[in-house]
Structure 1
Amino acid sequence: MVHIYLPASFLSNLAGTLRSDASSPSIDYHAGFRDPLIECIATEFVRELTCETWGGSLLIEALSDALALRLLNSHAGFGIGPARSAIASPGLDSRRLQRVIDYIDANLAQPITLDDLAAVASLSRFHFSRMFKIATGQSPSTFVGHRRLEMAKIRLAAGLSIAQIAFDCGFSSESNFVRSFKRVGGMTPGEFRRMSRQ
Structure 2
Amino acid sequence: MSSYSAVQDESLPSVFIPVSRVRAVARGLVWTVLGLGLARTVAYFVSDLRLVPSAVSNRIGDYAVLVAMVPLSVVSLVLLYRGLKWLALGMWPSRIGFVFTARGLSVRLGPFGSRVYAAGHVRVRYPFEMSDDEAARSSFEAFLPEEEQIATLVPQIVPPDGAAIRLDLMRYSGRAESDLAARLSPILSAWRAP
Structures share fold, TM-score greater than 0.5: no
TM-score band by shorter chain is under 0.3
Q: Which has the higher helix share?
A: 1
Q: Which has the higher strand share?
A: 2
